[in-house]
């Protein structure tokens, strides 16, 4: 199915350090750009701020070098349109 859709499976093997690289990079962004610069009174405030950061800023506005300086939502939309 991956080849049919023009995708390449993960290049790293089991227990290889590269398996976690994308998620580690993603998890670092909210910490550096949102969480470390604000004090939250409650856990609910923190969760709300992180959801807003991911849902609005990270996915829809923040440009990512890896995908041609597009926001993930824009990249996904263009990928879907090309596949149709």
**DSSP annotation string for the chain:** -TTTTT----SS-TT-GGGGHHHHHHHHHHHHHTGGG---SSHHHHHHHHHHIIIIIIHHT--BGGGTSB-HHHHHHHHHHHH-
CA distance 53 to 64: 15
Predicted model pTM: 0.51
CA distance 56 to 58: 6
pLDDT (0 to 100) of residue 41: 93
> What is the rounded average pLDDT of the residues 17-42?
71
pLDDT (0 to 100) of residue 49: 86
Ranking 3-7, 35-39, 49-53 by mean pLDDT, the lowest is 35-39
Q: Does the pLDDT of residue 42 top 90, yes or no?
A: yes
pLDDT (0 to 100) of residue 45: 92
């Amino acid at each position: 199915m991956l080849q049919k859709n023009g995708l390449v499976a993960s290049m790293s093997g089991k227990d290889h350090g590269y398996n976690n690289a994308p998620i580690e990079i993603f998890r670092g962004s909210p910490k550096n750009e949102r969480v470390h610069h604000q004090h939250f009174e409650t856990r609910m405030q923190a969760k709300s701020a992180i959801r807003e950061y991911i849902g609005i800023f990270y996915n829809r506005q923040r440009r990512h070098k890896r995908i041609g300086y597009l926001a993930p939502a824009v990249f996904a939309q263009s990928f879907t349109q090309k596949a149709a």
